[in-house]
Homo-oligomer: A and B are copies of this chain.
Amino acid sequence: MSVPGGDDAETPVGEVPPAPGTDYEFLRGALDEAGADAFVHVGDRFDDDLRYLTRFSGPDRDYAFVFAGGTGTLCAPALFGEQAVREFPGDRVRTEALSDPAGVRAAAVLDEAIDGSGTVLVPRRLPHDAAVYLEDAGYDLVSTDAVDRARRRKSDDELACLRFTQRAALRGMARAETVLAEAVPDGDVLRWESAPLTTERLRREVNAAIAAAGARDAGNSVVGAGPTCADLHFTGDDDVAPGETVLLDLSPRGPHGYYGDVTRTFVVGEDGWGRRAYVAVESAREAALERVEAGTPAHRVHEEAAAELAAFGFEVDSTERGFTHGVGHGVGVSLHEGPSLRADDPLEAGHVVTIEPGVYDPERGGVRLEDLVVVTDDGHEILAEYPFSSTPRER
């Protein structure tokens, strides 16, 4: 079905994209700039810098990445050796010494490469014990944000992963919209398949659709109804009543760890506040999107959305009501990463950001509309389009 304003709700998610590589040139640059000898990071599968550096979907225990002497080495637990060799695009996987802490293994790799002393760049979230092992082994540690900065600009392979996941997110949204379109007002509840509709029932339908499309909800499927829409990260259970705003913010994680992020808001039946808010947020969205292009100072995008919402009479500097949050954030192997749309730095081609204006009233509800866009030299591209309609339709 082709829908004006968006035609990816029905686009197949397609083949699982190949794993992006990581070009370590930025690490060479960071070492040169800092006059440092090596880079080390230690973490587990939940550390996104490490995921980016190694593409290893590893275990929930610490492993290490070392870049020294121009060589990238992954120190992986032995039980995960096959997986490490399969996934790591760098030079060398070491799996010996199962019981050594990852910091000790990283120090051993450094000892071979730079011989027992030198300056080592580390991300600020390096675990404390790894820092102590490295310092005890004779190395001076200096914090770097080089990985955070490198992650901001996405390669074509990374964009393919983001697109795949965003399409899976749209499948979840289409399922939710269909359920809402099928739901029938019955007094002060909505009924669907002969039981009252709740945010938890809706969430399960959404999450099953995301899983069937090859991504996972990652615990991020925010579904609010009426007042709980104003609780920006509501993942609890709440009845869905006729005339309330129903807000769905879906941020699944897909192949190779890349996230999607989409928000739509619907109203089943009449709601004056919700309809009025919807028009304002749609307008703010368009105003913000118009500013998204390489070279624009990022904070201008936020300001544009805020000005538009203010023109519609909504508060824009309260944390309680109106536009209570920023207009967007970078998305990649983290759901929230650089660039921030509050920052002064200019947007660059290859940045991937959410555009997500919203307004909230803790007594009534909330409306937010969000898409994922990649910044280009002369504008932007929406990674996967989903139509806009406050009245839910079967999809």
Residues in A lying within 8 Å of B, measured CB to CB? 16, 46-47, 57, 59-62, 78-83, 86, 122, 124-131, 141, 143, 200, 204-205, 207-214, 216-219, 231-237, 253, 319, 324-325, 334-336
- Measured in the bound complex, the distance between the Cα atoms of B124 and A217 in whole Å is 30
- Within 8 Å CB of A237, what residues of B? 16
- Measured in the bound complex, the distance between the Cα atoms of B39 and A217 in whole Å is 33
Closest to A129 in B: B124
- Within 8 Å CB of A62, what residues of B? 125
B60 touches A334 (CB 8 A): yes
- Within 8 Å CB of A60, what residues of B? 334-336
- Nearest 8 pairs of A and B residues by beta carbon: A46-B46, A207-B211, A124-B129, A208-B212, A208-B211, A126-B128, A208-B208, A128-B131
- Within 8 Å CB of A82, what residues of B? 231-232
- Within 8 Å CB of A143, what residues of B? 128-129
Q: Name 11 extra pairs, CB < 8 A, besides A79-B324, A128-B143, A211-B211.
A: A16-B200, A60-B335, A61-B336, A79-B319, A82-B231, A86-B231, A128-B131, A204-B214, A207-B212, A208-B208, A208-B211
Whether A205 touches B200, Cβ cut-off 8 Å, given contacts A78-B319, A231-B82, is no
- Within 8 Å CB of A319, what residues of B? 78-79, 81
Copies of this polypeptide in the complex: 2
Whether A216 touches B217, Cβ cut-off 8 Å, given contacts A129-B125, A336-B59, is yes
- Within 8 Å CB of A129, what residues of B? 124-125, 143
- Within 8 Å CB of A46, what residues of B? 46-47
- Within 8 Å CB of A59, what residues of B? 233, 336
A227 to B: closest C-beta gap in Å: 11
- Measured in the bound complex, the distance between the Cα atoms of B234 and A246 in whole Å is 38
- Within 8 Å CB of A86, what residues of B? 231, 236
Closest to A257 in B: B219
- Within 8 Å CB of A127, what residues of B? 124-128
- Measured in the bound complex, the distance between the Cα atoms of B46 and A219 in whole Å is 11
Partner of A219, one of B79, B216, B231: B216
Task: List 7 interface pairs A-B (beta carbons < 8 Å), by A numbering.
Answer: A60-B335, A83-B232, A124-B127, A124-B128, A128-B130, A208-B211, A210-B211
- Within 8 Å CB of A216, what residues of B? 207, 211, 216-219
Among A46, A200, A216, A237, residue most surrounded by chain B Cβ atoms (within 10 Å): A216
Closest to A95 in B: B319
- Measured in the bound complex, the distance between the Cα atoms of B61 and A82 in whole Å is 31
A351 to B: closest C-beta gap in Å: 18
Partner of A233, one of B80, B208, B324, B335: B80
A51 to B: closest C-beta gap in Å: 11
